[in-house]
Structure 1
Amino acid sequence: MLLMPLQASSFFREELVTNLGIERAKGIFMRLGYYSGLQDAELGDALRDRTQRLEESYLAGPQLHALQGHVKAEPISLDIDLDNDRFYSEFIWKGSFEVDVWRSEGPQPAPVCWTLLGYACAYATHLIGREVQFREVECRGCGDAQCRIVGKLAHEWEDHETFASQFRADPLIDELYELQERIATLEDDIARTRGRASWEPIGTTPAFRDMLGMLDRVSPSEVPILLLGETGTGKEILARRIHDNSPRVNGPFIAINCAAIPAELIEAELFGVEQGAFTGATRSRQGRFERAHGGTLFLDELAELSPRAQAALLRVLQEHEIERVGGQGLINVDVRIVAATHDNLTDRVEEGTFRKDLYYRLNTVTLTVPPLRERREDIPHLADHFLAHFECHYQRRTLGFSDQALAAMSYHAWPGNIRELKNAIERGVILTGDHKRITERAIFGQQPIATPDREKGKRLASHGRLDLQEGSTPPSRRHLVRSLLEAGIPFEEIEQTLIEEALKEHDGNIAAAARQLGMTRAAFAYRLKKTRR
């Protein structure tokens, strides 16, 4: 027996109501009383004389409760006839400790003897072997003259299912996870509608534009679309474009990475769960299909679906119906499927790890997203896009990329594709100070990227700027002059480039820049003014 001062009990109840809400707090106290009633019923059942009538055994419970100091229960009416499926019990509660807990709060809008009510339900249910529910029809906590309870078989109460749900745990964490997922979806939608440009595919290479044109032509249809491409090529961006260009644009866009969810949980994530379906399923929960109803569901890494999930997905595509894990009924869903994978599904079908009928069902329209190394002309545009984004995000103002950094980005193989480029630009912005150029080292670290200029030992960029790499042997003056002549760059442009680069090297300090070029400050200032006319 745990004794707690009335004031502490009142504080504890108030804390639960404040933090969890009155309905959740009520459920906790009713379950507390319920388990206490079960224990007393088991004890009373073990100790009672088998020759006692059921009514006598039943009345032992209220007496035990009174001895424990919870409440004094005076019977008003008791009618037990289980052969004729009849049970009726009525008591007056005197000295309810829960009324005293609430007394300082004033009259309440609903009965407050939650723990006592749970106890009565559990004790009667266990003793007679039928589900019994009690209701507190009068309560001193509400301003009534007395506390009176009435008990009947559960099915005789119209709200018996709702009442019974208060005896089942309803973990707050499940609700929080579901709310987090919904918030993330809404945030993505807000980002797409506010800054639509950030979601637009960027690229001008013919292969990419051809793929994008076909994607736009099939977007208004309802057929499933399969996107093939390496990891990091932007398949989710393209899936969002399909959704935005379809009649479902006002519906939800729900994405799921099938490879990120364990095989034993993927069906629950996709199709939902009924309460009690497995250990830990304490409440019913919608799956991604139900959340995507009326919109688009993007299945990334489709090839990782388990065989059972593949069979269920095929049924959805054919019948537009799902069945929750542990459920008994079918739920109609209206969802457009966009799937993506970096694997070769044809090989998976031949190996027997992917269903052939599902493959043909999804293969109505297949689009291949080219990797970044096959669209190098788009790298500068993508780099500028990510640079603007991260400068805004980190509140930085750089001078852009150095010539060597641009050359390195153009010749890098980018095995991680656009995602790798984005991460590299973010690293470059973080490591570069304000009003500085982002160097190759800031983007790629210590490992230099092989470029034609580096391989030939040339230090001249395509537009005439000199950019000597650290750690390499500088070419001779004659070699530099020959490179300039071969490039056909006018002398005025060479002079202007030298002056501007020296000025940038010294953060606008004219005297320092003049010293580097072996000139007086006045001569440097004169030439600077002349080049800027």
Structure 2
Amino acid sequence: MKEQSALDQFDLRSRLRFNSDTGRIWLDEHRMVLMHTRAVGALRKELFDQVGEQKAQAMLWRAAFEGGKLDAEMALKMIDDAENYDVFQIGPSIHGLEGMVQSEIVQNDIDWEKGVFRGRVHFRNSWEAESHTQLFGEDYKRACWTITGYASGYVSRFLQSYVIFKETQCACNGHEYCVMEGLPADEWGDDPVVASLTGLADTDSDRFELEQELCGLRKTVFNGGVKRAPISTGNLVGESQGFMRAFDLLAKAAPSPITVMLLGETGVGKEVFARWLHEHSPRKDKPFIAVNCGAIPVELIESELFGVRKGAYTGADQSRPGRFERADGGTLFLDEVGDLPPAAQVKLLRAIQTGEVERLGDDQVRKVDVRIVSATNSNLKTAMQKGEFRQDLYYRLSTYPVEIPPLRERGNDITILAEAMIGKFSGPYGKEVTGLTDRAIRALKAHDWPGNVRELENTIERGILLAESGNAIEADHLFPSGLPVGSEGARLQSDGMLKKQNPLASTTPDWKSMIEDGFVLETLENQMVETAVAMSSGNISEAARLLGLTRRQLDYKLKNMEREKAEITQEGS
């Protein structure tokens, strides 16, 4: 199949979008850049000058290998829309769309089940061969390291098997076109060119170990000339200024017995902060007891906190200790402390002041040694003014307040947290997710996160469930009901011109009015299908993409619509 046919068959141009308003170019789920080849060529030459020819070639090859893998993941999403080889041809087409090269597979032997590729590719107009010739002249046997790296990454990811391409003829050596051959990695044997691209020499390994050691030394914190290892954040993940301010306060409080109050919106992770405080305190080997004061019925809150004596009330069949006694020697975390009823507030104040508790219905005083960490998302000062929260208790609890910032104010922490959550959930779901696409990261950062870290956790868990194992999580996996971003800009047409996206395309219909006016759901669906086909000028792949369907699903729908029309016509006659 020719490249033009692949571009049209899968409407690949529609996946390339330009948004000058935000300064972004997108190819499907990934952000791209449009750069001068002279500028990239200058960087390429700098690599050759600084690290040497062999290392520069390997670096270029490996970087392009990653790009090929990303494009293969995009192609694999269309595997249900056409024959295997047609989908496979997306790679050369996309490589051309990216302005890298014009490729033609002239010989191939592919075993789809075993993941084996053996073949030869002719390619013309290689940007790399042209750039190399301009800078170094026509004295190199081969120069297209990024082209062969891309092909290796694409085919390896597509077939799930390690395939390596090697250039055997290059235009920078005076030939009309370049040639590369692809084989399974183990069939290249001891080929020195392949070995230099895919393996690290001993000197490189030594250098890598040295760089790792130096990196570790650079991360060591020096304070007043005394070397101090940085404190581990453990389950607390982040690096934003707001997060680090809260964490630094927490770290300073950890070794002391001071009473801490954690402030912040619902879902910011106050209990995680409280657990870190306990685990890094002298009480770490003693119990950590958490209680949500707002989740316990008012009539039971006192017995839950302070315990109950057998027979104290109907249903109290046995004596049992409360949370204070269970936390003896350790930490008691009182979440949503602002929801405590007045009677419980009085007893809590006494327990904090005296270190003594009395079980409900009992007059025996029990000594407890408990560190109190409280948390609230309500304004306790306002509650005090209204008489809903005791002033003396507030000052006892808020000796050391720590404000945890909402997720929307934590910048790049969103991405860091998301990656940590992917690691957490991938195992239980039995999936090896490779991370987040650029578009998914942008969508995460564009969302307001009213539910904070808890909402992000739910979103990532849903994304892992919907993502294919071995692939990255896409934006639509995270927000299946609609992305929290605006227009993605202009689309590339078949004539190479950019077409601005129709602003009406993202307008939300007035569903309420439609329901009140009465409509047939099937009729609405058929109208949407017909509109999408018209908008895409009859291109079924593009229409399917607009509707969020696969090509096969849309084909099935169109056949049903044709059959229904034929039946209506037959009945009318």
Normalising by structure 1, report the TM-score. Answer: 0.49
RCO comparison, higher one (Cα < 8 Å, 6+): 2
**Greater share of helix:** 1
